[in-house]
Chain A
Amino acid sequence: SAVISQKPSRDICQRGTSLTIQCQVDSQVTMMFWYRQQPGQSLTLIATANQGSEATYESGFVIDKFPISRPNLTFSTLTVSNMSPEDSSIYLCSVGTGKGTIYFGEGSWLTVV
């Protein structure tokens, strides 16, 4: 299994500001993933964070809005830039262990006011 820590767990942000979410894993992993869960909705993949290369974004998500860093094999950050109320969501980090199973962090619950 993998233990994943996310920070912050919850925050209230002002419109127009940016917030960086951190994800720390207790073991080295090749790929880390960032998902968004809007209120009452399912999870949607934002991007795949690869160590040593640029993140791969899914359709509808762009680097300028959601820049991602992956400085090493145990850590990644997701920044939500120039936030609007539509960005109010839970953001979740996940990793695979290479053995099939995917694990999630506790999530970061952002409210934009």
Chain B
Amino acid sequence: AQTVTQSQPEMSVQEAETVTLSCTYDTSESDYYLFWYKQPPSRQMILVIRQEAYKQQNATENRFSVNFQKAAKSFSLKISDSQLGDAAMYFCAYRGPQGGSEKLVFGKGTKLTVNP
């Protein structure tokens, strides 16, 4: 079974600085998707960024980028120029290949605090 591990229960960053959240996963599949979701106090799950495993290029969305290391099964999220609104729980998630089930396996989450 697939597993997702987030080893940092909590992280903090100064406003305008850069922070990296770690995620590792385990799967026997060669094709899959990885996601980072943000969950603010409102509890809405907001998609931050996604990565297709077959793509070697790391995904980027404005201030958010990932470092995807397929061989190492690592998928870290970098937040640049951190803002107060970035404070939230961040969940790393895995789903299997296209055409298969769209269910997600989540890590335990990392609570990010942004200090002014």
A95 to B37, CA, bound (A): 14
Contact A90 B43 (CB under 8 A): yes
Contact B45 A104 (CB under 8 A): yes
Contacts of B95 in A (CB 8 A): 100, 102
Majority secondary structure of chain B interface residues (helix, strand, loop or mixed): loop
Partner among B43, B47, B102 whose Cβ is within 8 Å of the Cβ of A109? B43
A95 to B104, CA, bound (A): 10
For residue A101, CB closer than 8 A to chain B, the reply is yes
For residue B91, CB closer than 8 A to chain A, the reply is yes
User: How many chain B residues touch A (Cβ–Cβ < 8 Å)?
Assistant: 22
Q: Nearest chain A CB to B71's CB is how many angstroms away? A: 22
Majority secondary structure of chain A interface residues (helix, strand, loop or mixed): strand
- Provide the A80-113 mask, 1 if CB < 8 A to any CB of B, else 0: 0000000000101011100011111011010000
Contacts of B56 in A (CB 8 A): none
Question: Which of B11-19, B21-29, B61-69, B106-114 forms contacts with chain A?
Answer: B106-114
A104 to B42, CA, bound (A): 13
User: Quick one: closest A residue to B44, CB to CB?
Assistant: A106
A41 to B109, CA, bound (A): 8
- Provide the B42-57 mask, 1 if CB < 8 A to any CB of A, else 0: 1111010010100000
Partner among A37, A41, A102, A107 whose Cβ is within 8 Å of the Cβ of B104? A102
Contacts of A101 in B (CB 8 A): 33, 35, 47, 50
A106 to B35, CA, bound (A): 18
Contacts of A42 in B (CB 8 A): 91, 106-109
Contacts of A41 in B (CB 8 A): 108
A92 to B37, CA, bound (A): 14
5 contacts between A and B (CB under 8 A): A92-B45, A100-B50, A101-B50, A102-B102, A104-B44
